[in-house]
Structure 1
């Protein structure tokens, strides 16, 4: 029986890891998993040592608040794996946490796999040196990442994106609306302001003010808002009392079955368009072929720190959203920082909702990208992980 250590730091990583664990079980039915993860990994048998919520932070302020718990998770996990080494360690996303952990384990001769690399192609390319020292093998999601690592002499395999297999090429909007109790002929906008506390605080007020303006022109517009957990829902409801909107359907994990399909997917599949925080949700929305407006806002303090740390005031690519990066084009609008005003967000979102010709063009581009990512990710990733485990 092989022993596999795993760490996922946020809900999107938990979902990805759960799919990979399914692939490993197909090859090694008795494989044992231990570490840090969420409900999808636990459903596949993860022996959970620490709460994944501890790592689901963004920004220096959030990290500082959570630092004691993060350090306890880090040193506790590292100590246990050093005392009883796994056959292989797999870090899923969360590079700030996982690369440090992988470096420590790698020095002890434990094979390390990083599944989902940090966005070195966007900013802070110098992290490639840390990856070289910490990682035995990179598993990347996108074909354009392979030559980056090959050039630096880092073993790498593109395994595609597991979500490209799990999300249908042709979504069923009518069925999703029936599950959510939405009228088939209604105009529906999905709001996804992020899964982190700081994202809710900075983006949700702008998104709600955008909806207020949209509903002045389109009073019957329906709004669906998926919440990743009870804490984010509490924070969002507090803001909703300040910026009330009509026809809002709040979808929580407490009232929806998330084992088979995340609640955010229900919202995306049912919606005509999305207003969404930059991140994994934009990729999921692309796979559901939905027109979207991508937005993101950092606090002034966070902007200064990131610019100081990277030596840059903007990413190396002209795009921030994954759909645009994959298309190498501004297929959907990105309204970031000072551009993310309710007025500008309203204008862009109105186009996404009501310009059907443009929405059809966007969907056509998204189908092409979906097909390029649709590899057998659980099998490809599992084969490499099991190979490294047996090699040790």
Structure 2
């Protein structure tokens, strides 16, 4: 996110120079703020204060110039946080009309009126701006007052912005959580239906029972992960790594997802260039990774195939899941692993909460590796990660 911007609007160049001196974020003043925050923490035994409020200073000499700056900032997702507005700015529109236009463009902007005259009543300002909160400083102003006003309003603006983003994340998460639990429930219901309505040999019946057991455990693991997420902890901080065989996990994931791939006319393939598969890992977590990545590939592929390949490299296994899907834009390839991130432009519309790839990345990080992505628009994507061999 960009550093917040402070806009000062005054028709007198000398006044703008004063603002620049007062609001310049020098290293000395920054250190003073940090020292003050550290002192408060020591005295009152509180968490660190947000004493360092960084910002960029922008100036304008006329109202319409300021309106243009705020409009462009809004369009470019680089908004103005605080605006100091002089009331009298001949020959253009006055400060009150300027503020009205700024608030109309961006209702979240904090407005501070600065004037040597009292020709606009607070009642008129409220009626014009159609908001209850605004701030007023008399000229000649005190430099400490301007600095404190700036820091306080920036903190207030940032707090409101963070709260809004958090609310949006929560809304997306709550409304789309079924994406992560729907598939195991479908597998369980399908297996139960088959067991209840069809005669079959014991070997096949036992396989369906094992599928039910596996998916029930996966749902239980997912609920534990969600509880850890709720507590803002790493989802992988407690799971245990041990010696396990990788190929049965891949076979299980393919068996569960093959019908989903076939429904879309996709070929689900496995390619192995080694028979060694005894790795150090966590079975439940790796199944979750494999299923998430393959489901993701199926969702974003309309024709072709999904290939899971395993190769050996320097005492570790390299796992790749490659599709012939729509691909991911270069500028989004790092963002897709962030919690709640959803691809902005999608050739294929897919519902989800933007949590699956984030969980996968955290799991693989806990295995000492990292999921890498190679992708080209219109050609497909390849997600890959390494897993170490088990010594035992």
**Both structures adopt the same fold (TM-score exceeding 0.5):** no
TM-score, structure 1 normalization? 0.27
The higher relative CO (CA closer than 8 Å, separation ≥ 6) is in 1
